[in-house]
């Protein structure tokens, strides 16, 4: 009896996220884009609990965040993202997400921890 070769997902060297798993192998995933405001106040984004931010960048003059999550999505949670300019103070309780080039500016996106200060 011959068996066909088993296909294995191999992430690129730059990929650092763990794809959602379920018994029996990989579940399908989807990537969605969300616009993040460049303001003094954080932007709230409703995301599935298993979502992982995979990229932040400027697109057509807007700062965007791309996240990957299992399909179909499960429960969601409001997450807060703040944008800080280079050289600006970053309050405690924020986790680095990524850096966005927007010449002549360079922005840094942070996620506020649950219960973190705005």
Q: What tens-digit pLDDT sequence spans the chain (118 residues)?
A: 444 444 333 343 334 344 545 545 556 999 999 999 999 899 999 999 999 999 999 999 999 999 999 988 889 999 999 999 999 999 999 999 999 999 999 999 999 987 545 5
Measure the N-to-C terminal CA separation of the chain; round to a whole number of Å.
62
pLDDT computed for residue 86 by the predictor? 96
Q: Could you give the number of structural domains in the chain? A: 1
DSSP 93: S
Question: Contact, 20 vs 70, CB < 8 A?
Answer: yes
Decide if 105 is inside a domain: yes
Q: Given this model, what pLDDT does residue 113 score?
A: 86
| 8 in any annotated domain | no
Q: What is the pLDDT of residue 25?
A: 58
The whole-angstrom separation of Cα 96 and Cα 65 is 13
Residue 117 inside a domain? The answer is: no
Closest among 45, 50, 79, 49 to 64, alpha carbons compared = 45
């Amino acid at each position: 009896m011959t068996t066909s070769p088993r296909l294995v997902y191999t992430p690129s060297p730059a990929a650092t996220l763990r794809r959602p798993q379920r018994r029996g192998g990989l579940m399908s995933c989807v990537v969605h884009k969300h616009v993040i405001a460049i303001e003094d106040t954080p932007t709230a984004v409703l995301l599935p609990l298993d979502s992982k931010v995979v990229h932040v960048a400027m697109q057509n003059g807007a700062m965007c965040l791309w996240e990957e999550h299992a399909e179909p999505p499960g429960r969601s949670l409001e997450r807060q993202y703040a944008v800080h300019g280079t050289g600006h103070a970053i309050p405690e309780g924020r986790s680095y997400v990524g850096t966005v080039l927007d010449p002549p500016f360079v922005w840094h996106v942070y996620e506020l921890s649950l219960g973190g200060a705005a």
